[in-house]
Amino acid sequence: MDVVIATSAEVDPTATIGAGSAVWQLATVREHARLGERCNVGRGAYIDAGVTLGNDCKVQNHALIYQPAVVADGVFIGPAVCFTNDLYPRAVTPDGVRKTASDWDAVGVTCLEGASIGARAVCVAPVTVGRWAMVAAGSVVIRDVADFALVVGTPARRVGWVGRAGVPLVAGDDSGTWRCPRTGEVYTEADGILREGTG
């Protein structure tokens, strides 16, 4: 499978772009970034130096993914999403001198398999978004998101669960069980953790 890179995109020669991936107009992929196979990087998106994307990721237009973010397979990152990397951002030191890389310790956002980050959401590093979790559009994530959690708001809080299909789960007949209305898959909740299956 061929790699597609738009003529107006900027892809550093040290970046690795997996087979079948596409980097569209005005997107930037910085040095030593690694994109897996079949990824799609939308118009104007920014993939910072050293960022890693797994296979089958979709980064929508104007998303900003700052180092040292790590994104697993099958993650959706919506339009204008921002992954931050500095807990205490300043342009200058206390002495008024412009900061350089040596004055700063980057912290990253980690997205696990199948997670979805809605349009214009902000993930404030360091946070981990769990497997198949869903962050609603416009949310601000300041703490870790559990696997399969549906989080909304500022700051983001869990309001439900979603399955692999991405639709909210429905409470089952038994306490602690949840069912996907689309696929019929069953999930079990215990101590605030949702797991696939019934056991």
All residues at 6 or more sequence positions from 20 whose CB lies less than 8 Å from its CB, including other chains: 1, 2, 3, 37, 38
Give the homologous superfamily in CATH for domain 4-161.
Hexapeptide repeat proteins (2.160.10.10)
Residue 73: its pLDDT value, please?
98
User: In angstroms, rounded to a whole number, what is the distance separating the alpha carbons of residues 98 and 24?
Assistant: 33
Q: What is the pLDDT of residues 1-44, one digit of tens each?
A: 799 999 999 999 999 999 999 999 999 999 999 999 999 999 99
**Active-site pick, 11, 27, 45, 62:** 62
Active site residue 32: no
Specify the residue for token string 């004055």. Answer: 103
- Sequence spans of domains, the chain: 4-161, 163-199
Q: What is the pLDDT of residues 59-113, one digit of tens each?
A: 999 999 999 999 999 999 999 999 999 988 999 999 999 998 888 889 999 999 9
Report the candidate in 112, 15, 29 with the shortest Cα–Cα distance to residue 73: 112
Spatial contact of 109 and 123, defined as CB atoms under 8 Å apart: yes
Q: Quick one: pLDDT band at residue 199, thresholds 50, 70, 90?
A: low
Query: Residue 137 CA to chain centroid, in angstroms?
Result: 12
Q: What is the pLDDT of residues 108-129, one digit of tens each?
A: 999 999 999 999 999 999 999 9
